[in-house]
Amino acid sequence: MSQAVSEFVPADLDASEWANIEPLLRALLGRSVESAADFERWIVDRSELDAAISEATALLYIGMTCDTENESRQKAYASFIENVAPKVKPLAFELDKMHARLSERFDLGERYFVLNRDTSADVELFREENIPLQTEVEKLSTEYQAIIGAMTVTFDGQEKTLPQMGVYQESTDRDEREHAWNVVSERRLQDSEKISSIFDQMVTRRDAMGRNAGFGGYVGYTFKGMRRFDYTPELCFAFHDAIEKHVMPFVARLDERRRSQLGLESLRPWDLGVDPKGRGPLRPFEGGVDLVSKTQRVFDRMSPELAGMFETLGDGSNTSGADGGASLDLDSRMGKAPGGYQYMRDRSRRAFIFMNAAGQHRDVETMVHEAGHAFHSMYCVDEPLVHYRESPIEFAEVASMTMELLTMPCWGEYYPDGEDLGRARRQQMEGSLSLLPWIATIDAFQHWLYTNPAHSREQRAGAWLGLEERFGVQGHRVDWTGLESARPLVWQRQGHLFGNPFYYIEYGIAQLGALGLWLKSLEEGQDAALSAYKRALSLGGSRPLPELFAAADLPFDFGDSTVARLVERVEAELEKLPE
Ligand SMILES: [Zn+2]
């Protein structure tokens, strides 16, 4: 790249202020671009401005999530989202149109293929008449979130949110699990009519948006909108078939073992979260600093390169991320937002990892998962275009999920006790496959919904029950006797269906990729797997999906042969572990 450095955006620009970014956006729009070199300069300058705006957003978001009780931070973030972002959006779209026009005039070669393709798709899909529909759908989505967020129950004499109720599904007291499950299920049913009505309206509007844009319905429209250029609905169907054929028998065997270990006649919906041997929770570490030092030792053992990258994040003792320069904020504490994420500060090109660690095994999974995202950002840190420093989710999650699997041989750092170690590894390997049927269910359901947009609620319930039967997700393998009113509405819990339609199969595609790299580590050794990992991650998002998979020596295939091979190998590895 000849034009790697942009001097167009001042180094000290405060991009959280509209007054500071508007002149730069307008300067790009008004710039005369008369040659391929001009166009390339324009692209790099725009990228640097995008990076500055992105970093400003990141800092505000990090500041807010690390301290939700700090009112000025809440206000600063809200004000940016309400006042600045909506002003950026229309100008950004004008810039997209300008980019699409320029890309037809000046051929910049292969290097810009992905950027041109993505930008042109956004421009081609745009329809003025879809704006009000989009706004209505967003409002409906907010209504759904408000209904779900307001759901609380009284349990053990205390008011509890539904996420707080999750912990009771791990209780070894079966009556307590059943009671907790029923209280939550009844609470959900109270609002199920309202939620069904919201969903009816969403489906109708999304279908109209697809038709307005010249598609037969929503599926083709959203495939293009989600930049799924390299796979089709047919390939998604092949994924569903492969899961049904190869993963369902595996899951059935897991369930049968669970049933017999628990000593039950049959599994009920509240028997799925408890440890089948009645053991207490795993305790891999004590506090964020301990988590970081153990994880550092894991990467030290795996590869000096990964260890070096992980070390740049710090030791976890400094948590003042938004302004204090820290890269980690791991411990759960009052006044911190829930969940975990990795957020790249795009201009200074520094990763940030946020978690709510509480000393559980899933915190270990989250730590190495988010570290994988951070490695991805670091491997392509020298890429000049911010658009190429991010890759499609189907591959971005390969970077993170692979770390969950490749670190397994070194988990002795968290689990000096052999039984704990075997239990953690078993949980990881079983989980990597048993999530796939749920992914297939949600994906197949959405294909059905939007290819039959005029469906009735009864037909929708029928379609859902049919998929439950097919993928056995809380279906035929679990006894639902007496719970018949709740069962056809289980889909209402999956927020993606409301706020992020069709966004789900990405996790399945990525999980197969991660398992593929793990298999490579078993067959050719850890170093071979890590060098394929590096090769692919270093490309960022600069190449189409199949090329990213190819760079990692992975087939871009999520059908029969890929799934069959992975299931067989996971089962073989599981057999080597103690029960
Ligand atoms: Zn992730």
Q: Could you report the per-residue pLDDT of 212-239, keeping only the tens digit for each?
A: 999 999 999 999 999 999 999 999 999 9
pLDDT tens column, 243-298: 999 999 999 999 999 999 999 999 999 999 899 998 988 999 999 999 999 999 99
Rounded to whole angstroms, the Cα distance separating 302 from 421 reads: 17
Three-state secondary structure call for residue 283: coil
Rounded to whole angstroms, the Cα distance separating 273 from 394 reads: 28
Rounded to whole angstroms, the Cα distance separating 84 from 70 reads: 21
Cα–ligand 1 centroid distance for 251 (angstroms): 24
Three-state secondary structure call for residue 207: helix
Q: Report the chain's C-alpha Rg in angstroms.
A: 24
Cα–ligand 1 centroid distance for 353 (angstroms): 11
190 CA to centre of own chain: 30
Cα–ligand 1 centroid distance for 559 (angstroms): 23
- Write down the architecture of domain 224-282+368-579 according to CATH: Orthogonal Bundle (1.10)
In this prediction, residue 280 carries a pLDDT of 84
Say if residues 520 and 566 touch (Cβ distance below 8 Å). no
Handedness of CA 252, 258, 263, 264 (dihedral sign): negative
Written as one letter, the residue type at 284 is P
Cα–ligand 1 centroid distance for 185 (angstroms): 29
In this prediction, residue 3 carries a pLDDT of 44
Cα–ligand 1 centroid distance for 398 (angstroms): 8
Contacts 24+ apart (CB under 8 A), 6-9: 6/44, 6/45, 6/47, 6/48, 8/45, 8/48, 8/49, 9/45, 9/48, 9/49, 9/52
Cα–ligand 1 centroid distance for 507 (angstroms): 9
**Alpha-carbon distances, residue 73 vs 66, 187, 194, 322 (angstroms):** 10, 34, 34, 10
Percent of the chain with pLDDT over 90: 79
Percent of the chain with pLDDT over 70: 98
Rounded to whole angstroms, the Cα distance separating 194 from 489 reads: 12
Cα–ligand 1 centroid distance for 400 (angstroms): 6
312 vs 162, higher pLDDT: 312
Cα–ligand 1 centroid distance for 508 (angstroms): 12
Paired with 436 in beta bridges are none
Cα–ligand 1 centroid distance for 299 (angstroms): 19
DSSP strand E in 9-139: where?
A: none
Per-residue pLDDT, averaged over 450-454, amounts to 98
Cα–ligand 1 centroid distance for 22 (angstroms): 33
Per-residue pLDDT, averaged over 382-396, amounts to 95
In this prediction, residue 68 carries a pLDDT of 82
Cα–ligand 1 centroid distance for 57 (angstroms): 19
Cα–ligand 1 centroid distance for 393 (angstroms): 8
In this prediction, residue 550 carries a pLDDT of 98
Q: Does residue 1 surpass a pLDDT of 50? A: no
Q: Does residue 378 surpass a pLDDT of 50? A: yes
In this prediction, residue 476 carries a pLDDT of 61
Cα–ligand 1 centroid distance for 509 (angstroms): 13
Three-state secondary structure call for residue 11: coil
Written as one letter, the residue type at 483 is L
Say if residues 209 and 133 touch (Cβ distance below 8 Å). yes
Cα–ligand 1 centroid distance for 371 (angstroms): 10
Q: Which of 116-125, 463-472, 476-485 has the lowest mean pLDDT?
A: 476-485
Cα–ligand 1 centroid distance for 355 (angstroms): 12
Cα–ligand 1 centroid distance for 369 (angstroms): 6
Cα–ligand 1 centroid distance for 395 (angstroms): 10
Cα–ligand 1 centroid distance for 506 (angstroms): 11
Q: Write the DSSP symbol of residue 246.
A: I
Say if residues 302 and 407 touch (Cβ distance below 8 Å). yes
Cβ atoms within 10 Å, residue 416: 8
In this prediction, residue 5 carries a pLDDT of 62
**Alpha-carbon distances, residue 320 vs 67, 80, 116, 317, 385 (angstroms):** 10, 21, 38, 9, 28
Cα–ligand 1 centroid distance for 39 (angstroms): 34
Cα–ligand 1 centroid distance for 342 (angstroms): 8
Cα–ligand 1 centroid distance for 301 (angstroms): 23
Cα–ligand 1 centroid distance for 579 (angstroms): 29
Cα–ligand 1 centroid distance for 82 (angstroms): 27
Cα–ligand 1 centroid distance for 367 (angstroms): 10
pLDDT tens column, 142-169: 899 889 888 999 998 999 888 888 889 9
DSSP, residue by residue, 390-427: S--HHHHHHHHHHHHHHTGGGGGGT--SHHHHHHHHHH
Per-residue pLDDT, averaged over 200-216, amounts to 97
Cα–ligand 1 centroid distance for 370 (angstroms): 6
Categorize the per-residue pLDDT at 475 as very low, low, confident or very high, splitting at 50, 70 and 90. Answer: low
Cα–ligand 1 centroid distance for 362 (angstroms): 13
Nearest CA to 271 among 282, 281, 280, 260?
260
Cα–ligand 1 centroid distance for 229 (angstroms): 22
Going from N- to C-terminal start, the domains of the chain cover 18-126, 224-282+368-579
46 vs 4, higher pLDDT: 46
Q: Does residue 2 surpass a pLDDT of 60? A: no
Q: Does residue 38 surpass a pLDDT of 90? A: yes
Say if residues 556 and 545 touch (Cβ distance below 8 Å). yes
Cα–ligand 1 centroid distance for 405 (angstroms): 14
Q: Does residue 473 surpass a pLDDT of 70? A: no
Cα–ligand 1 centroid distance for 399 (angstroms): 8
Q: Which of 38-52, 321-335, 508-522 has the lowest mean pLDDT?
A: 321-335
Q: Which of 150-159, 375-384, 434-443, 465-474 has the lowest mean pLDDT?
A: 465-474
Per-residue pLDDT, averaged over 19-40, amounts to 97
Cα–ligand 1 centroid distance for 365 (angstroms): 11
In this prediction, residue 323 carries a pLDDT of 67
Per-residue pLDDT, averaged over 319-343, amounts to 81
Cα–ligand 1 centroid distance for 396 (angstroms): 7
Cα–ligand 1 centroid distance for 511 (angstroms): 11
Categorize the per-residue pLDDT at 92 as very low, low, confident or very high, splitting at 50, 70 and 90. Answer: very high
Nearest CA to 248 among 463, 556, 477?
477
Categorize the per-residue pLDDT at 430 as very low, low, confident or very high, splitting at 50, 70 and 90. Answer: very high
Cα–ligand 1 centroid distance for 208 (angstroms): 32
Look over the chain and give the mean of its residue pLDDT values, rounded to a whole number.
93
DSSP, residue by residue, 51-71: HHHHHHHHHHHHHHHH-TT-H
Per-residue pLDDT, averaged over 493-497, amounts to 91
In this prediction, residue 578 carries a pLDDT of 79
Per-residue pLDDT, averaged over 429-453, amounts to 96
In this prediction, residue 472 carries a pLDDT of 79
In this prediction, residue 166 carries a pLDDT of 84
